[in-house]
Amino acid sequence: MLDILSNLLYYTRRGSPEKITGGPPERAEREEMYKIVMVSWGGTKHDFASDLSYDEALQICEDNNWEYSYEPGGYVWDLEIEEDGYYVLAM
């Protein structure tokens, strides 16, 4: 799907494929990123940390025993890992 959208965007900006020499640019390398979200018992979600590799996110969650405590109110939030998109490493 991403290849189709990338080619469509490329051809839309440059004109029809017949007029283009060399074809679309090579696919960029991407690195998948993750974020940690705090989830309340009622299902409310808030971002805790973002732009992490999966290993970094996992380490932070394990170090915090998969929960975040907010002392003044006595609230305890569960920590979950979610996908946060991609970083483009090279074009």
Range of the domain at 10: 2-90
Domain count along the chain: 1
The model's pLDDT over 41-87, given as tens digits with 9 standing for 90+, comes to 899 999 999 989 999 999 999 999 999 987 777 889 999 999 988 77
Mean pLDDT across 86-90: 67
| The two structure tokens encoding residue 71 | 């002392």
CA distances from 87 to 3, 35, 51, 73 (A): 16, 13, 9, 37
